Amino acid sequence: MQMKALLFIVVLTGSLTSHSMTSLAQNSGVPLSKQALEECNQGRLAADRAARLAHFQQGQTLGEQAVAADEGNADAHFALFCNLGELLRIDGESLTSIFGLRRMMKELDRALEINPAHIDALSAKGTLLVKLPSILGGDAEKGEHLLQQVVKQAPRSVNARLALARVWCQHGRHDDAVVLAGEALAIAEQHQRLDFIPEAQALLQQAKTIAAKSKDHRS
């Protein structure tokens, strides 16, 4: 049975690099979890489907190796979650595998079980909770709370700000959404988060347009 759900997978890392999959795999000095997360980042930046698929599949393999090597490493579980999630949505924001969703969420929940303060995992969890329908485990109120927590604790968090701005737009808090989307864009540009800049620009423009229309209706 095909079930559709918006699935936004987030990765809040520092700077992106341009290592290839081969050089990453051969660099034994880089932890497997970091290699796996880099593959997820590179896959999200790749221009074509084949390249994205290759990065995410390599990332899944490295993530599984990282978890096998150190099951108690939250970063390993988060990196595996990232690649599993991107593989689920590689052809768009449609979910066709309940098994895949459950496995992905299992890795995310395990990362938070090991480290409840894992900012990347908290941001991802909050984003999913506000986007997924309740039948698939969504909880908008809890998700919004988590996103607010991340925004307060992580000055460089881009995705959490974008996700929360969308929620506020839905709740009619258009001016607040404009401010938050503007912050997200500024952070993405300052830290060269190329994977987030287009999304932040689009959301900021959308929020400004809605806010302006809302003011026109009140006047």
pLDDT tens for each residue of 66-125: 999 999 999 999 999 999 999 998 877 655 578 889 999 999 999 999 999 999 999 999
Measured CA to CA, the distance from residue 187 to residue 95 in angstroms comes to 30
For the four alpha carbons of 203, 105, 73 and 76, in that order, the dihedral sign comes to negative
Task: Count Cβ atoms within 10 A of the Cβ of residue 14 and give its class: 0-12 exposed, 13-18 middle, 19 or more buried.
Answer: exposed
AA letter at 196: F
Measured CA to CA, the distance from residue 63 to residue 216 in angstroms comes to 50
Of the candidates 139, 153, 162, the one whose C-alpha atom is nearest the C-alpha of residue 9 is 162
Whole-prediction pTM value?
Answer: 0.80
The residue ranking higher by pLDDT, 195 or 160, is: 160
Domains along the chain with CATH numbers: 1-139 (1.25.40), 155-219 (no CATH)
The residue ranking higher by pLDDT, 128 or 98, is: 128
